[in-house]
Amino acid sequence: MKNLLLTGLACASFALLSTEAFAHGGQYRGPGDTVPPPSGGGGGTTPGPGGPTTPGGGGPSTPGAGGPSTPSAGGPSTGGPSAGGGGGGGPTTGGGMQLGDDLTRWQFWWEFNKDPFIKLREAIHQGGVTTNSDDFFMGAGKVVESKNTMRPTDAQIMNEILPKLKQALDSTDQRDITSSCMVAMAKVGRDHEQFKILDVFKERLVSKDLEIRQTAAVAMGISQMTESVDDLIAIATDSPKGQKLTKRTEVDDQTRSFAAYGLGLVGFATSNVDVKKKVLDGLKGILSDKNISDRNIRVAAINAIGILQPTDDDAGRALLRESYDTLFKYWNRKVGPGEQLIQAHVPPAIAKLLKSCDDEKIRAEFTEEMLKTLKGKTKIKRSVDQVPMSAALALGQIGTVEDKAVSKGLLEYYKKGKNLQARYFCLIALGQIGGDENRDELLKVLQKGSKALIKPWAALSLGVLSFNRLENDLGVDAEVGLAMQKWLSKLKNPEALAALAIGLGLAKYEDAADELREMLEKQKNKDELAGYICIGLALMDDQRSTEPISRVVQASVRRPDRLRQAAIALGKLGDQRVAPMLADMLDDDSKNLARMSAIASALGFIGDTRTVSPLCKMLFDEGLGDLTRAFAAVALGGVADKEMLPWNSKIGINMNYRAAVETLTNQQSGILDIL
């Protein structure tokens, strides 16, 4: 499903591919070559649905979006073009660059986890009341603070956006426009008086095009409509009903995987525990069925169970116990290295469940197991590196300041552990747990760690710790801010400086804003660094940066990575000029698809009501190319999105992206690659 591929990180193997070969939009959040080799039995070898530039489904048949091929292109960013074989690309939240073989860079974690920190749509929708607003005055001198001044109205969504997307969908067989319109309609998640959106999606489950089938299946889940559950279970389990829905003698593994993710999305959104239980029952069979050889389906089931969000009541706790037992049973299965990689998805999934509904007994048992896993002292020996990585990520979610054993275990592994990525994840976990002792240890790491490798992770971890401190109303930690700021003048490495910018932004250490603005002016031609400086300034809400960042946006017409970053930063700062500015840029039908990707993705994330009419006009302008029209649909879906965070962020956050499989993220067509 190359639709909406907002790819962000171009790996070296794809660095020389042309940026002109994009498919329609998407948002790659992580490295393509983290996808592991096949584990035997024929599972997981297909790269996903076909490229949108050639007819038919199947594997990618055109070279994907090649991310910028020059070293000046930005690294993983808050936006970036597609990279990878097979027609990927489109509006994204990651920047493309040559990565070589180093998959341990801090940017990868940031790109998969940034959404709850940036909260872009919340910022733009709460940008304050405009003086010509109907809500500006009510009564004698009574000023009203509108919270949704830039959000589209219900009438706009139901009378303009949704029917226009349906009209565009019915008037074309073009893959990019079809897929983009379906996902956009699913983001609205509501029926129109003249049609039901689930019926629209089900009609396309029978398409001969694999991408369109997959898109239709996951769109049913993105809609969050509970009426889709029975059909999604049928597709995910390849039942006779599922075969009838797809008009196939056997439902293909990729469509089954996307249906499983769709089930998790519905389970996440509903408050009905009976529906959540039905979803779990459908997914349990996938993990227990030993005849399934495709790793994608199992990984989908694990991650879908992980986002069920059990309610914090008796019924929810019963669901938690059953979900935990299902996942833990699979975790304890003795398997070879190939399936151990699938098992690595279990710890983060269980941790997500415990974040929704706590259970003291489960937490204690699971914590002990994860600490033993870090130490390599579990009863079942596992050889793959992704397992300790997942243990570290899980402990960061379930650990508390009071549980000293967890922080001690993480710190010990950071100092002595064999796997470098797991060591870095331990730093992040310490930042997530927080507390004065972890803060002090991270400050030591920042001070003593190597400039190019350790300091960036320490800065990011301190930023996360400081952000959570602010969320708990504990105020700005000036000591942490000053400790990071002092390295701005001492370091030359752009990656380290970019991490410091993000860390300072997360910490809201405004005393560093002047220095960061000065650095932005000096380093504006280094796209990755400039983009992250923009994001850092926006995170600290430095309103004085609005004009400098606006100038960066206007000067980045041919620099898509920097353009996306700066535009998102401007939206985060609440500048209401950014959306019309971007809409004007998108209207220029350019062959630079990376540029269109950057613009449309930023428009979608910002979600500004004023862009609805021009985007609808573009959607039907046959004088524009198909991809431009598809990008307009992508942006409309973002504007009308029922959720404040990207729909797939609930899957990607705190996931072990180093254990990726093709339908999860493969740099072009996975669940996390879709805008």
Q: Report pLDDT digits (tens) over 332-353.
A: 999 999 999 999 999 999 999 9
- Among residues 112, 672, 649, 38, the alpha carbon closest in space to that of 341 is found at 38
Percent of the chain at pLDDT above 70?
A: 80
Token pair 């935990």 is found at 324
3-state secondary structure of 321: helix
SS3 content of the chain, % helix, strand, coil (to 5): 60, 0, 40
pLDDT beyond 60 at 132: no
Q: Is position 18 within any domain?
A: no
What local confidence, expressed as pLDDT, does residue 22 receive?
A: 33
3-state secondary structure of 493: coil
Mean pLDDT value of segment 571-577: 86
Percent of the chain at pLDDT above 90?
A: 63
| Total count of residues recorded for the chain | 675
- Among residues 398, 395, 412, 462, the alpha carbon closest in space to that of 435 is found at 462
pLDDT beyond 80 at 569: yes
Q: What is the dihedral of CA 527, 531, 532, 536, to 10 degrees?
A: 150
What phi-psi label fits residue 11: left (phi over 0), alpha (psi between -120 and 50 degrees) or beta?
beta
**Least confident piece of the model among 92-101, 382-391, 589-598, 621-630:** 92-101
Rounded Cα–Cα distance for residues 407 and 378 (Å): 19
What local confidence, expressed as pLDDT, does residue 150 receive?
A: 74
- Helices and strands of the chain, counted as H and E runs: 33, 0
What local confidence, expressed as pLDDT, does residue 15 receive?
A: 25
What local confidence, expressed as pLDDT, does residue 124 receive?
A: 64
What phi-psi label fits residue 334: left (phi over 0), alpha (psi between -120 and 50 degrees) or beta?
beta
Q: Is position 68 within any domain?
A: no
pTM summary value: 0.85
Q: Is position 177 within any domain?
A: yes
Dihedral sign computed on CA atoms, order 263, 58, 243, 295: negative
Mean pLDDT of the chain: 82
What local confidence, expressed as pLDDT, does residue 606 receive?
A: 77
Q: Is position 660 within any domain?
A: yes
What contacts 418, CB < 8 A, 6 or more positions away?
Answer: none
Q: Is position 55 within any domain?
A: no
Per the structure, the complete domain to which residue 242 belongs is given by 110-127+152-673
Q: Is position 652 within any domain?
A: yes
Q: Report the amino acid identity of residue 373.
A: T
pLDDT beyond 50 at 672: yes
Rounded Cα–Cα distance for residues 505 and 155 (Å): 37
Mean pLDDT value of segment 227-248: 98
CATH code: domain of residue 513: 1.25.10
pLDDT of 41-84, one tens digit each?
A: 333 333 333 222 222 333 222 222 222 222 233 333 333 222 22
What local confidence, expressed as pLDDT, does residue 624 receive?
A: 81
pLDDT beyond 90 at 511: yes
Q: Is position 2 within any domain?
A: no
Confidence of residue 423 (pLDDT cuts 50, 70, 90): very high
- Among residues 105, 96, 120, 106, the alpha carbon closest in space to that of 464 is found at 106
Per the structure, the count of domains in the chain is: 1
What local confidence, expressed as pLDDT, does residue 600 receive?
A: 74
Rounded Cα–Cα distance for residues 43 and 338 (Å): 10
Confidence of residue 151 (pLDDT cuts 50, 70, 90): confident
Rounded Cα–Cα distance for residues 73 and 19 (Å): 12
- Over its C-alpha atoms, the chain yields an Rg (Å, rounded) of 23
What local confidence, expressed as pLDDT, does residue 589 receive?
A: 53
What local confidence, expressed as pLDDT, does residue 478 receive?
A: 97
Q: Is position 161 within any domain?
A: yes
